Amino acid sequence: MAMRDLLKKYFGYDSFRPLQEEIVNHCVSGQDALVLMPTGGGKSLCYQLPALKFDGITIVISPLIALMKDQVDALTANGIPAAYLNSTLPYPEVARIEAQAKQGKLKLLYLAPERLANPSTRQFLTTLKISLFAVDEAHCISEWGHDFRPDYRNLDLLRTQFPGIPMLALTATANPRVRDDIVSHLRLGRGRVFQSSFNRANLAYRVVPKKKAFEGLLAEIRRRPDEAVIIYCFSRNATEKVADDLKANGINAAAYHAGLSPKDRARVQEKFIRDEVPVIAATIAFGMGIDKPDVRLVVHMDLPKSVEGYYQETGRAGRDGLPSECLFFYSAGDRIKHEYFIRGMDDLDERQRVRVQLQEMMRYAELKTCRRAFLLRYFGETGVPETCGSCDVCVPRAVEAKAEPVQDFDQDLFEELRLLRRNLAATRHVPPYMIVGDKTLQEMARQFPQSREHLIGITGIGREKLAQYGGAFVDAIRAYAVPKGIPERLAATTVRARPVKAISSSTRETVRMFEAKRSLESIARERKLSVVTVLNHLEEALDNGRSLDASHLSAPDDDRLERMREAFREAGTYMLAPAKAKLGDAYSYDELRLGRFLLKARPQ
Ligand code: ADP
Ligand code: ZN
């Protein structure tokens, strides 16, 4: 089965995120690689999809027990046989999983790194037909990273004992020193490095003066009823105070910090993941073991200690790709809080380093130029646009203003579907986001699918999700739409402005080949991509304001192109399905896709 079909069947997605397709193809060809992608970039899919294609099993090394369980639950929910082995499992369970693996019944097996130190685990691995080792959170191998785990050094044993098996290492760390460490420890010397832009295009960055900060915070939270929010504070006391003040104002909030008992911490985390307490005031310890994709707002009440830390913490917003905000209440005076700790440091070099990091963070806060551009350049990206159109410097506005955002979906239906999702999740004992994501619910609330045939066309609905929840969602949508006389709609009826983002190196490569007058097919062949992806790259370049000369392509005749232009215009969107519905079978999707590109390339 083609990769794209596997993508839809198991994960419910219609297209790849940037670099995913290249990485998946590279991986299937049996070669090593290092993948550097920001949080939310879609790293998991880079080994989960190849795992489905391989005959043998894919072994995934993952450091956090909670995340391991999450991933396995999510895979199982998509109908993919997977399991994990770690210290929390009783022996009979371990034996059962090992037997399944030996019988070839599992596609993916997650392992905690400390298990590799055990010769019996390595002996067990020799009895399997292993197709791939995937090393998640690969920065844990480096002492230069923020999360060094000595157990990761055991991976060296895998390389020695299983030299012929390809390895895919993945991380969201952009630090070059850490990257070199990963390559050398895992001996990835001959593998490729795939690095995507660290731009989080769906995140809006905002810094506001720390005056009446609590009122500002409250207003922001009230604008987002029931949405997940993380508020980072400098001290334990501050987290308690913010949470208490929010509760006094009727907000369902809780505090999280290292002073709580492990049991209490686990409970707060669990409630947050299950959408039972949506607002958490926390120290930076919160968030490490959490993959919650629908956090809509991350707030910094105090000065973060470094740009790296700030990027990582804000990165916990909007992993699902939907618009989310990062709000920072800044006061230069907060520097004093850090000074107290800095003066306590014995190592003078270390003191100096920490001061420089703090200085950089303050520079960010006081910028008069685009904040996104600063962040991307800080992490060494080049070719970064001067303005982003979605930070407070590029688009100034007051905190208490933002005019509600324009929504192109039915908010009431969305709320109903969210409630249904919560109920489905509760009976199955999984977090709601594991049923389906917000993006899927929003698309339902836009298209009103009233049959299973239509529902399968929605993003995030694969074969298994359709079988499990299709009936429930269709019933709920019908119950809402039929009395109101709302018909099914094919797709979005508004053209959404795309956020400006840095073009990836892969897109640049496609553009370069296209400008050398190569045909789409020959670019696709050489780059091992589909023609659709090549076109996506080219459209991405056009959408980012680049002009392309497409005169060397063999185009549909002018008449047909004109009809397509009309159809897109009438549909009010460049999405293919509505135009196709207007044009009928005389126009294939392939032709429409090419037509769309040509129309964008020479607009009138
Ligand atoms: P990372 O590990 O890089 O932080 P994940 O693998 O957790 O990112 O993916 C982030 C989110 O994006 C998940 O909710 C995932 O299901 C979703 N996702 C991944 N790939 C795609 C895709 N091709 N289309 C739509 N959503 C995707
Ligand atoms: Zn900007």
Q: Name the residue among 326, 318, 257, 312 with its Cα closest to residue 292.
A: 318
* H-helix segments, 276-333: 307-314
Ligand 1 centroid, distance to 295 Cα (angstroms)? 14
Residue 590, CB half-sphere, CA atoms under 13 Å: how many? 5
What is the CB neighbour count within 10 angstroms for residue 289? Answer: 16
How much is the average pLDDT of 175-188?
90
Q: Strand pairing partners for 379?
A: none
Helices (H), 399-462: 411-428, 432-435, 438-447, 452-455
CA gap 480, 475 in Å, rounded = 9
Mean pLDDT on 125-132: 97
- Please check the confidence at residue 405 and state whether its pLDDT lies above 80: no
Q: Pairing state of beta strands 228-232 and 279-282?
A: parallel
Confidence of residue 498 (pLDDT cuts 50, 70, 90): very low
Largest CA distance in the chain: 76
Query: Would the CB of 63 count as within 6 Å of ligand 1?
Result: no
Query: Coil, strand or helix: which one is 192?
Result: strand
Q: Whole-number mean pLDDT of the chain?
A: 90
Question: How far apart (Å, rounded) are the C-alpha atoms in residues 172 and 119?
Answer: 30
Over residues 331-335, the mean pLDDT reads 95
pLDDT confidence bin for 496, thresholds 50/70/90: very low
pLDDT tens column, 244-265: 999 999 999 999 999 999 999 9
**Nearest residue (CA) to ligand 1, atom 24:** 13
132-142 mean pLDDT: 95
Give tens-digit pLDDT for 290-308: 889 999 999 999 999 999 8
Does pLDDT of 441 surpass 70? yes
Q: Cα separations (Å) of 433 from 143, 278, 446?
A: 34, 13, 19
The residue that leads in pLDDT, 569 or 158, is 158
Q: Whose CA is nearest to atom 2 of ligand 1?
A: 43
What's phi and psi for 209, nearest 5 deg?
-60, 145
pLDDT at 502 exceeding the cut of 70: no
With a 6 Å cutoff on the Cβ, whether 40 touches ligand 1 is yes
Identify the pLDDT of residue 600: 81
pLDDT score of 175: 78
Q: What is the mean pLDDT of residues 13-25?
A: 93
Can you give the pLDDT at residue 400?
Answer: 37
> Are 24 and 160 a contacting pair, CB within 8 Å?
no
Ligand nearest to the CA of 201: 2
pLDDT at 469 over 60: yes
Above 90 in pLDDT, residue 320? yes
Atom of ligand 1 nearest to the CA of 433: 14
Q: Residue 582: its pLDDT value, please?
A: 85
- 557 C-alpha to ligand 1 centroid (Å): 39
* Higher per-residue confidence, 578 vs 153: 153
* pLDDT for the residue 500: 37
Residue 565 host element (H or E): helix 558-571
- pLDDT band at residue 603 under the 50/70/90 scheme: low
**pLDDT for the residue numbered 602:** 75
Q: Give CA–CA dist 219/543, Å, rounded.
A: 34
pLDDT interval class at 551 (50, 70, 90): confident
- Of the listed ranges 67-71, 527-531, 569-573, the least confidently predicted one is 569-573
pLDDT at 547: 79
pLDDT digits (tens, 9 = 90+) for 233-243: 999 999 999 99
Angle, helices 411-428/463-484, rounded to nearest 10 degrees: 140
How many C-beta neighbours within 10 Å does residue 296 have?
A: 20
Q: Relative to the CA of 14, which ligand 1 atom is closest?
A: 24
What 3-state class would DSSP assign to 53? Answer: helix
How many angstroms is it from 399 CA to the middle of ligand 1?
A: 30
Average pLDDT over residues 275-292: 89
Judged by average pLDDT, the poorest of 251-255, 354-358, 488-492 is 488-492
Q: Facing residues of 330 across strands?
A: 209
Greater model confidence, 533 or 124: 124
Q: Which numbered atom of ligand 1 lies nearest the CA of 41?
A: 3
Alpha-carbon 268 to chain mean position: 23
pLDDT, position 125: 97
